Amino acid sequence: MAVGVFDSGLGGLTVLDALTKRLPDIPFVYFGDNAHAPYGVRDHDDIFALTCAATERLWAEGCDLVILACNTASAAALKRMQETWLPPDKRVLGVFVPLIEALTERQWGDNSPPREVAVKHVALFATPATVASRAFQRELAFRAIGVDVEAQPCGGVVDAIEQGDEILAEALVRSHVEALKRRMPAPEAAILGCTHYPLMEKVFADALGQGVKVYSQANLVAESLADYLQRRPQFAGTGTQSKFLTTGDPASVSNKATQFLRRKITFEAA
């Protein structure tokens, strides 16, 4: 009974960390497509093909349920996968919906019509591909009306985080927040729409200023998965071992991941 967790690189480890704390008895198989990262600058067909290949690799590990712990893949590939590609005995879930349901204060699985919500001005920080997909706005429209979303493509931030350059990552975050605030001077809430960004959450919050609620994904996704598996235990899969897989160089990725999570992580070749 294993669950797959996929990301283009290391950002999904923030989600995996929350998942393992919330569901300590479930084995998780993490797949990082480090050889092809970052996804945020790729076109949608490319992202779709890479995400499908990674998902099939996780199925081979006994993971009938795969979490796309990558906002770019969730935005650019998930809908197409679910509508045209996914077999009936498998499930692939993204990371947007739990975030939006928290923002709109709806219970997981609440399919009632969209309604007015308290927050009217929302800043979205994400990769260029996620912003271009408009997937966040589309999902939000199913649940809320009258919400103004200003999206800022945060080029370079993922690369800087993956390379361990915190000074550059912080400078880029502050620059992107300034750019957004020129268009939306007073956001009420901010969405960190990339699983790398929780590592920079304090920088985002500081740059945004007081009074802006910052929504990050990891714990919200963990709660949603716990609820999902309680309702659909048949998708827990046949895998029995936790492991870390990468398309990149295992030694290099292991070193970066260990720095990333501040605990020993050992990747093996996918």
At 108 the pLDDT is 59
Mean pLDDT, range 91-109, rounded to an integer: 85
Catalytic residues: 70, 194
Q: What CATH number corresponds to the domain at position 123?
A: 3.40.50.1860
11-44 residue pLDDT tens: 999 999 999 999 999 999 999 999 998 898 899 9
Burial class (CB in 10 A: 0-12, 13-18, 19+), 47: buried
- Domain that residue 127 falls in: 97-215
pTM of the predicted model as reported, rounded to 2 decimal places: 0.88
At 105 the pLDDT is 84
Q: Are residues 223 and 193 in the same domain?
A: no
Residues 13 and 260: beta-carbon distance below 8 Å: yes
- The Cα–Cα gap between 30 and 228 comes to 19
Structural domain count of the chain: 2
pLDDT confidence bin for 109, thresholds 50/70/90: low
Q: Are residues 147 and 121 in the same domain?
A: yes
User: What's the chain's average pLDDT?
Assistant: 93
Mean pLDDT, range 201-225, rounded to an integer: 94
Q: Are residues 197 and 150 in the same domain?
A: yes
Question: How large a percentage of the chain has pLDDT more than 90?
Answer: 79
Q: Are residues 101 and 210 in the same domain?
A: yes
70-87 residue pLDDT tens: 999 999 999 999 999 999
More confident residue, 163 or 264: 264
- Asked if pLDDT for residue 259 goes beyond 90, the answer is no
Label the pairing between strands 148-153 and 243-246: unpaired
More confident residue, 41 or 186: 186
Q: Are residues 90 and 222 in the same domain?
A: yes
| Three-state secondary structure string covering 190-225 | EEECCCCHHHHHHHHHHHHCCCCEEECCHHHHHHHH
- Asked if pLDDT for residue 116 goes beyond 70, the answer is yes
Instruction: For residue 144, list its beta bridge partners.
Output: 115
**Domain end residue (candidates: 170, 191, 215):** 215
- The Cα–Cα gap between 231 and 233 comes to 6
Among 162, 190, 187, 176, CA closest to 259 = 162
- The Cα–Cα gap between 64 and 249 comes to 26
